[in-house]
Amino acid sequence: MTTGQPRRQPDPRAAAWSNAANPTRRPLLRTTITLGVIGVGFLLCLLLVLAVIGSALTVQSVLLAGLFALIPLCIVVPTYLWLDRWEAEPGRLLVMAFLWGAVVAVAVAYILNTLSILLLADSGWTDPLATGAVYVAPVVEETLKGLGVVLIYVLRRREFDGVIDGIVYAGIVGAGFAFTENILYLGEALSAGGPETLSATFVMRGLMSPFAHSLFTACTGIGVGIAVSVQHRGARVIAVLAGWLCAVILHGIWNLSALASIQGFLVAYATFQVPLFLAFVGFIVWLRRREGRLIGQYLSPYADAGWLTHGEVSMLSQLRGRKEARRWAREHGGAAAKRSMTAFQDSASDLALLRWRLAHGTAAADAPQRELDLLAAITEHRHAFVGSPVT
């Protein structure tokens, strides 16, 4: 055998996997069918949403309503991305969460809400619209929005680290739902009452309550986040159901207040909705600080073992320190070094949260291998922007 470039050694994990491979193509076929079913489901829901909007509104109304609906969306989504600063969720999952809320949840909710109102009307109910808004719509909509969060938890369990992740995914689902719903309501307001009615509807939905849908669904997200940190299956189910129930109750109270007089709505808004929102803001600020402390606590043993320095742990547990480190990397090594620093920080956050799950007995079976992979990634990323390993 001649010498020269060393031969690339096969990955032992790949070899083990190939030895255990299924000799048929059923796994590939099953994956293709699953993705196809999901794609068709999204497409059908999208067509239904477009049909509903198209039958109720003109093109001009849709475009104007869409521009107005973008304003609260540009407030809500950045807020949840700000919350997700410690350990950013994969972009594809955030997009999936948004599309679930904006397309699937809206479409199915429209069908079920319409059917429930028709059934109430046929049964001789006194006020089917009010009953549907207060009792039916909250259950239907929060179930469908919450289902999107639960699906991410079930299908991508590794991406779920706790309450903050649950709030972020739920908030993005709620933002998508509110965006499509706002287009419909704002467009109908413009068609029915002109610019004045559009303005009044926008103030109520876009300015006074831009976080309403995302805040309600965040309760379900909190329940799912709690479920990540408990071992008992029954406790997980109870946590998710409790979060969903809170979402339904808050949604129902909001819809009930919207049916009251202007004065009654303003009283409910000032005495209930605003304090609730402020309490939620305080809670997520506390969560962000708590996650920083957890990162510092669970990375410290790795610094003691030599995988990290204690200075790096201090940097990683402070958002300001992380920002300064990224700026330093860019100044000394350009965009590539900054990307390596960002990847280093993300991998370290993943490692700390994985260590937290291991300490609480809620980590997946492959957690030890995942830990080694993250440590290897941290070492590689550090070498890219420092040039030498930890000594």
- pLDDT at site 45: 77
What contacts 24+ positions apart, CB below 8 Å, involve 371-377?
Answer: 374/347, 374/348, 374/350, 375/302, 375/307, 375/351, 377/343, 377/347
Which range of residues forms the domain containing residue 250?
Answer: 41-259
What tokens were used for 130? 């009010």
How confident is the model over 180-206, as a mean pLDDT? Answer: 89
For residues 207-221, give the mean pLDDT: 93
Q: Which long-range contacts (CB under 8 A, 24 or more apart) does 283-290 make?
A: 284/83, 284/164, 284/167, 287/83, 287/163, 287/164, 287/167, 288/83, 288/85, 288/86, 288/164, 288/319
| Gap between the Cα atoms of 83 and 355, Å rounded | 21
Instruction: Report pTM.
Output: 0.81
Provide the pLDDT for residue 55: 76
Residue 34 confidence class, pLDDT cut points 50, 70, 90: low
Task: Tell which wins on pLDDT, 56 or 21.
Answer: 56
* 238 in the same domain as 149: yes
171 and 308 co-located in one domain: no
d(CA 302, CA 323): 22
| pLDDT at position 313 over 80 | yes
Report pLDDT for 387: 57
> What's residue 32's pLDDT?
65
Specify the residue for token string 């109270």: 253
382 pLDDT higher than 90: no
58 and 183, same domain (yes or no): yes
Extract the tokens encoding 141.
């909509």
Give the residue among 229, 74, 92, 230 at the shortest CA–CA distance from 164.
229
In whole angstroms, give the CA distance from residue 382 to residue 391. Answer: 12
Last residue of a domain, one of 259, 278, 302: 259
Bigger pLDDT: 331 vs 12: 331
Q: What mean pLDDT do residues 20-45 have?
A: 60
Q: Which residue has the higher pLDDT, 230 or 27?
A: 230
Structure tokens at 369: 């291998």
Q: What is the mean pLDDT of the chain?
A: 84
* Per-position DSSP letters for 337-391, written without gaps between them: HHHHHHHHHHHHHHHHHHHHHHHHT---TTHHHHHHHHHHHHHHHHHHHTSS---
- Residue where a domain terminates, one of 212, 233, 259: 259
Whole-angstrom Cα distance, residue 150 to residue 154?
6
318 pLDDT above the threshold of 50: yes
230 domain-assigned: yes
Q: How confident is the model at residue 24 (pLDDT cuts 50, 70, 90)?
A: very low
Angstrom distance (rounded) from CA 219 to CA 224: 9
- What are the respective helix, strand and coil percentages of the chain, to the nearest 5? 85, 0, 15
Do 215 and 316 sit in the same domain of this protein? no
Lowest mean pLDDT among 97-106, 168-177, 326-335: 326-335
- Chain length of the chain: 391
User: Is 106 inside any structural domain?
Assistant: yes
Same-domain pairing of 301 and 158: no
Task: Tokens for 385, please give them.
Answer: 């922007």
Distance CA 305, CA 351 (A): 14
**252-309 residue pLDDT tens:** 999 998 887 788 888 888 888 899 999 999 998 898 888 889 999 999 999 998 888 8
Residue carrying structure tokens 């429209």: 110
Cβ proximity of 353 and 228 under 8 Å:
no
277 found inside a domain: no
Asked if 97 and 182 sit in the same domain, the reply is: yes
Tell whether 319 and 178 lie within a shared domain. no
Taking the C-alpha atoms of residue 176 and residue 106, their distance in angstroms, rounded to an integer, is 9
* Domain count within the chain: 2
Quickly state the pLDDT bin for 155 (edges 50, 70, 90). Answer: confident
Written as six digits, the tokens of 285 are 């600020």
226 with 85, same domain: the answer is yes
Residues 6+ apart with CB under 8 A from 391: none
Contact present, 341 and 349 (Cβ < 8 Å): no
**Which of the listed residues 240, 259, 278 is the one where a domain comes to its end?**
259
